[in-house]
Amino acid sequence: MGRYQDLFVYQKALQLTLLIYEESKTFPREDIMGITSQIRRSSAAVCAILAESYGRRRQEKYYLYKLHEIAGENAETQVWLDLAWKLNRMTDITYHALSDANQEIGRLIRHMINHPEQFS
């Protein structure tokens, strides 16, 4: 297997994180310690934990544990997207685009959980 940067899910997660960082620049200043920092942290954590887990993918139990952690961070990102949208911090179009991307990442992560042997 190649590098973690070659994983399609990593590329998608990094792209989403960059979009979230860009979109969250428009959030009100009052959100910096709340929604802004949390949505950035959780989306970036998906990328970081993917990199960490991929480096230790031959340790199957640890790898699966980390993949479940990634799924949790991805779900948390969706919560922050939902909240930002409900608080009118982003347009409907932006919300749906980011949410769809996040859901695709979730499907890719579930595939990795269900088929870890494809990535070792």
Residues 91-119 as b/e (b if ≥16 CB within 10 A, e otherwise) read: eeebbeebbebbeebbebbeebeeeeeeb
pTM for this predicted structure: 0.94
Which CATH number goes with the domain that contains 71? 1.20.1440.60
Residue-range definition of the domain harbouring residue 66? 4-119
User: What's the pLDDT at 92?
Assistant: 98
pLDDT tens digits for range 33-82: 899 999 999 999 999 999 999 988 989 899 999 999 999 999 999 999 99
Nearest to 45 by CA among 105, 85, 111: 105
pLDDT at 120 over 80: no
C-alpha 81/C-alpha 108 separation (Å) is: 19
User: What's the pLDDT at 117?
Assistant: 87
How many domains would you assign to the chain?
1
